[in-house]
Amino acid sequence: MPNVRDIFITEVALRDGSHAIAHQYTVEQVLKVAKALNDAGVPYIEVTHGDGLAGSSLQYGLSRTNEMELIEAAVSVADQAKIAVLTLPGIGTIKELKEAAKLGAKMARVATHVTEADVAPQHIHAAKELGMETVGFLMMSHMAEAGKLVEQAKLMESYGADTVYVVDSAGALLPEQVRERIRALKLHVGINIGFHGHNNLSLAMANSLVAIEEGATRIDGSVRCLGAGAGNTQTEVMVAVLDRMGIKTGVDVYKMMDLAEEIVAPILKTPQEITRDGLVLGYAGVYSSFALHAKRAAAKFGIDSRDILIELGKRKVVGGQEDMIVDVAAELAKSKSQVNVR
């Protein structure tokens, strides 16, 4: 196991958690959460729209508050933690990245589909030139075998990334699949390795621990499990478990418990749990942020959201193809109607 200084947690509730509340964060909420996380000793706090910089749109969901205001708010109360931003080439541009850096963001996480790292060099280079710690974020990692993952990670490394992540966007990876992927990266990549889990199959914690066992030193968590689908690895639980294992993170367990209960819980309309929609995301291997879109499409067309998600999985639809959700729903509704007519 790593020594006490080896595990660095990035808190994603103010980014991935944006999906869970339909991107409705206010400045006041971000100030409270970011300050509490900072005071608890969390080293990195990610703040953007759920789909990264410039994600606010009809396709991905409109933000209640301009994300730059949220980033600025988080920076203003983080005297220890570094504020991180996520950017997806094709959605976020260098312009937004520069604006975030000017406001005080210190880490850029550049996210691509697991087989498309070659779209990331411009964003990674720009982040490095801005003096930001830079992370390559390989989303939907369950869709690539270990060898392909290594190939893509090495591209991220060649562009200048300081860290590369195995990102289980669908919450579909099983522990041994995580072990295989992290082990392969550890053998072939010379930069830090991270893991970002989702809890759609109730495996986020187990998968995070396996990643640590295999040498990952950067682990994502979300307080109160706040994230897309069934949420992410629950930060306050992970900190407590790692402490019990003798793996220190520098994060105060009591303070994490308190902020989860007193500050974050009231933000949630309903507790984050594994519902049938979340479960089917992991089962089908579909991007976790699709759940809310599928539910809305199901209501519009009078069909089961699970059928939409299963079909999306069969078609290997990935993040950035949210418009396909309505198309698939319409097709399924038409097919159902034709069957009923017969």
Give the Cα separation of 204 and 234 in Å (integer).
Answer: 8
Q: What is the mean pLDDT of residues 152-179?
A: 97
- pLDDT 10s digits, 71-107: 999 999 999 999 999 999 999 999 999 999 999 999 9
Q: Is 113 noted as a catalytic residue in this protein?
A: no
The answer to whether 15 is annotated as binding is yes
The answer to whether 16 is annotated as binding is yes
CB 6 within 8 A of CB 215: no
The answer to whether 142 is annotated as binding is no
| pTM of the predicted protein model | 0.91
Give the Cα separation of 194 and 185 in Å (integer).
Answer: 10
The token duo for 50 is 């759920």
Asked if the model's pLDDT at residue 256 lies above 90, the reply is yes
Buried-exposed string 82-103: b where 16+ CB fall within 10 A, e elsewhere: bbbbbbbbebbbbebbebbbeb
The radius of gyration of the chain's CA atoms, rounded to the nearest angstrom, is 19
CA distances 107 to 84, 131, 135, Å, are 4, 9, 8
Instruction: Write out the CATH class of domain 8-267.
Output: alpha beta
The answer to whether 159 is annotated as binding is no
Tell which CATH architecture fits domain 289-341: Orthogonal Bundle (1.10)
Write down the pLDDT at residue 1: 44
Helix, strand, coil content of the chain in percent (nearest 5): 50, 15, 35
Which residue in the list 19, 23, 49, 123 is annotated as catalytic?
Answer: 19
The answer to whether 254 is annotated as binding is no
CA distances 293 to 88, 228, 300, 303, Å, are 19, 11, 11, 13
CA distances 201 to 131, 197, 220, 282, 311, Å, are 38, 10, 17, 6, 18
Backbone angles phi, psi at 251, to 5 degrees: -100, 135
- pLDDT 10s digits, 194-225: 999 999 999 999 999 999 999 999 999 999 99
The answer to whether 168 is annotated as binding is no
Write down the pLDDT at residue 269: 81
Which three-class secondary structure state does DSSP give residue 115?
Answer: coil
Asked if the model's pLDDT at residue 255 lies above 50, the reply is yes
pLDDT confidence of 310, banded at 50, 70, 90?
A: very high
**Mean of the per-residue pLDDT values for the chain?**
93
Question: Helix 323-341 and helix 290-301: axis angle, to 10°?
Answer: 30
The token duo for 146 is 């270990």
The structural domains of the chain, with segments of one domain joined by +, span 8-267, 289-341
